[in-house]
Amino acid sequence: MMRMIWRRLGIGLVTLWVVSLIMFAGTEILPGDVAEIMLGMEATPESLAALRSELGLNRPAYIRYFEWLGDMARADLGMSLAGRGNGGGGTTIEVLIGDRLDNTLLLAAIVGAISIPISVILGLIAAMFPGSFYDRVISFTTLCLVAVPEFFIATMLVLIFAVSLGWLPAIATMQNFSSLTELVRSLALPILTLCFVLFAQMARMTRATVLNVLSSPYIEMAILKGVPKHRIIMKHALFNAIGPIANIIALNVAYLISGVVIVETIFAFPGLAKLMVDGVQVRDMPLVQACGMIFCATYIVLVLFADICSIVSNPRLRHPK
């Protein structure tokens, strides 16, 4: 098992390196740079050349890439370019990311703690009684939620709870709250939006995974022997379904950290994805590249964790033919 884990770690490192190439190349071909954004309408060819030289943007791309890659290997994210130049000392990317990462992790933890148990339980109920009233209600509800984009769900929640009823704020600020109630009230709308999105996806995929396991020959034999359905699912089918379910959970948790750009933008939530969008707007490429690498590393770690769960729960994966 350790050999398989080390192999997956190696694949993850290679994936991280390939993503670094794509990330650096993608940011290089974007039109404009931070020097043009900083100087604005007052930019002249001489001032642009001087500022680019000060920021190090006039050096060849491959030299900057290897320097950036070496800094990443040492866990040094570097300096933000937006505050440098014109005598400015700049700000380290670690400082910019620190609070934003804490906010994103807090939001992801709350949403995951709510949506994961509910969606897995409802997916199991739908799989235990296929074709029943419960299965139809769950399948219809999740299908409707999957078909609706997240920005529409967020907009409708704002219109209902913030504009019409006035119960919740439309902006999810992260201030020094005096009580837990104020924190929950401020984050209620983005939490509800993400819970709806994740609940629909995970419940449907959990149901499909368990139903696929239930069609296995050993499950059919257990049914013919008269084993109760709840025992078949909880004792026999669920263990073989843990691997796919763990992958579903890992991908959705990774989405909570890196894929919530739309939700964070709608609610002006000060998270990591919103910081990356702000970095693109001001062409702060080191900041954008650092956020992208954090997102990629998050996916790799969570997928590795899901693979380990699959290996531990399924002995056949530990002894491949």
* Strand segments (E) across the chain: 84-85, 88-89
Helix (H) or strand (E) holding 224: helix 217-224
The closest alpha carbon to 273, from 263, 283, 286, belongs to 263
State the pLDDT confidence band at 300, using cuts at 50, 70 and 90. confident
Sign of the alpha-carbon dihedral angle for 32, 36, 37, 41: negative
Q: What is the pLDDT of residue 318?
A: 60
Sign of the alpha-carbon dihedral angle for 193, 194, 196, 197: positive
Angle, alpha carbons 210-314-206 (nearest 5°): 20
Can you tell me the distance from the alpha carbon of 75 to that of 17, in angstroms, rounded to the nearest whole number?
14
Please tell me the class of the 94-313 domain.
mainly alpha
Q: Which SS3 state, helix, strand or coil, does residue 84 take?
A: strand
pLDDT 10s digits, 227-264: 887 777 777 777 777 777 777 888 888 777 776 778 88
Q: What is the pLDDT of residue 40?
A: 63
Quick check: 306 pLDDT over 60? yes
Give the CA-trace dihedral at 123, 128, 134, 139, to 10 degrees.
40
219 compared with 52, residue with greater pLDDT: 219
pLDDT 10s digits, 80-128: 766 554 444 567 778 888 778 888 888 888 888 888 888 888 888 888 8
| Residues above pLDDT 70, as percent of the chain | 87
pLDDT, the chain, mean = 78
pLDDT 10s digits, 136-191: 888 888 888 888 888 888 888 888 888 888 888 888 777 766 677 777 888 888 88
Q: What is the pLDDT of residue 79?
A: 72
Q: What is the pLDDT of residue 246?
A: 78
Can you tell me the distance from the alpha carbon of 8 to that of 93, in angstroms, rounded to the nearest whole number?
29
Considering the chain, tell me which residue range(s) the CATH 1.10.3720.10 domain(s) occupy. Answer: 94-313
pLDDT 10s digits, 181-235: 777 888 888 888 888 888 888 888 888 888 887 777 887 888 888 888 777 777 7
Can you tell me the distance from the alpha carbon of 82 to that of 213, in angstroms, rounded to the nearest whole number?
53
